Amino acid sequence: MRSSTFLLFSIVGIYGAVLNAAAWSVNNFLMTGPKAYLTYSSSVAAGAQSGMEECKFQFGWERWNCPESALQLSTHNRLRSATRETSFVHAISSAGVMYTLTRNCSMGDFESCSCDDSRNGRVGGRGWVWGGCSDNVEFGERISKLFVDALETGHDTRALINLHNNEVGRLAVKSTMKRACKCHGVSGSCSIQTCWLQLADFREIGNYLKMKYDQAHKLEMDKRRMRAGNSADSRGATAEAFHHVHSTELVFLEDSPDYCTRNASLGHHGTEGRECLQAGKNLSQWERRSCRRLCTECGLKVEERRTEVVSSCNCKFHWCCTVRCEQCRQLVAKHFCARRDATVANHTKRRNKGHRR
């Protein structure tokens, strides 16, 4: 299992799946891959993908909006950085992989695992006993660790940070689990309940990790010891820095770059051309401020573009049995960040660089 082929395949698998889902196929490895790899690889890929989709949702109205280039799960990538944003990418990806494997297991997709019924029959609390099918997170944790953590082949500080953030993601899956119960007793009196633990919605895990992202901890390294070049010394400095980090806390090493501006070498598109939301009725405060955050504070202007949207309306039911509708045309205003005139741009002050609002 721990052969180098296994490792290589997991890298290709996760990268391929997320960057180009269609092009990647398990069949490519049917002749060579170890059996265990083949059993789980499609689930691992699906899990990494769902992690990235959740990342895009959580960062939809942020300057950094989780571009594909953010997926640098492997230390093989020389461009890898260890910013607040990459800490989130690691956590949500590893959470996605664990989540999907666990779900698969409960659905009976794998012969090698089934529900966690280890506590069934025991009293769990007042008026309830363990019973039913608890999601087998231990299984999901074990297999996801094997795939995702195996991508970290280095032994430097960055590798340690990535491994730590992977673990934060897996802990998030566990700590958001919920108890679900079923009533028993005479005619539904519910005098006794059986309960089991189940995974939360993945959205909830995304929300939880987004909060952890906001509170992420910058690792302050002893630069003198790091620079000494002595690997034992720098390992010592790393261990010391980690000493103060809680296991549920995301960790990063470098300050975020200015995500307002395009930076091709970092793979950032900048916020020019991005859509933002203005003055909708039901927007959260976070969404309502998106034009300011993405455009104005990045030295761009907000440009309104009207587009015509055609939809069905005034539908009437005719006896019997058709529904006839009219086609209504509606002008919808959308807002985008656009470059200002050069003269105006001179007076623009860049405020709030980096990721903060």
Nearest approach in angstroms of CB 213 to ligand NAG is: 20
Nearer to ligand NAG, 16 or 257 (CB): 257
- Classify residue 4 by burial, with Cβ atoms within 10 Å: 0-12, 13-18, 19+: exposed
- 177, 199 contact by CB (below 8 A): yes
Q: Does 102 contact ligand NAG by CB under 6 A? A: no
Q: Does 49 contact ligand NAG by CB under 6 A? A: no
Closest residue by beta carbon to ligand NAG? 109
* Token couple for 137: 């997170």
Q: Does 263 contact ligand NAG by CB under 6 A? A: yes
Q: Does 109 contact ligand NAG by CB under 6 A? A: yes
Task: Name the segment binding ligand NAG (CB under 6 A); options: 179-187, 202-210, 259-267, 331-339.
Answer: 259-267
Nearest approach in angstroms of CB 155 to ligand NAG is: 25
Q: Does 189 contact ligand NAG by CB under 6 A? A: no
Distance between CA atoms of residues 334 and 233, nearest Å: 55
- 3, 34 contact by CB (below 8 A): yes
**Short-list 331, 270, 337, CA closest to 301:** 337
The 10 Å Cβ neighbour count of residue 180 is 15
Nearest approach in angstroms of CB 50 to ligand NAG is: 7
Binder among 38, 115, 266, 302 for ligand NAG (CB under 6 A):
266
DSSP 8-state assignment for residue 183: E
Distance between CA atoms of residues 320 and 318, nearest Å: 6
Whole-number Cα distances in Å, 78 to 140, 212, 265:
29, 26, 12
Q: Does 342 contact ligand NAG by CB under 6 A? A: yes
Nearer to ligand NAG, 232 or 264 (CB): 264
The 10 Å Cβ neighbour count of residue 238 is 22
Nearer to ligand NAG, 201 or 240 (CB): 201
DSSP 8-state assignment for residue 28: G
Cis link prior to 321 (omega < 30° from 0)? yes
DSSP 8-state assignment for residue 349: P
Q: Does 132 contact ligand NAG by CB under 6 A? A: no
Nearer to ligand NAG, 41 or 58 (CB): 41
Reduced to 3 states, what is the DSSP secondary structure of residue 351? coil
Q: Does 282 contact ligand NAG by CB under 6 A? A: yes
Nearest approach in angstroms of CB 43 to ligand NAG is: 4
Nearest approach in angstroms of CB 148 to ligand NAG is: 16
Q: Which residues make up the interface to ligand NAG (CB under 6 A)?
A: 42-43, 46, 100, 104, 109, 257, 261, 263, 265-266, 282, 342, 346
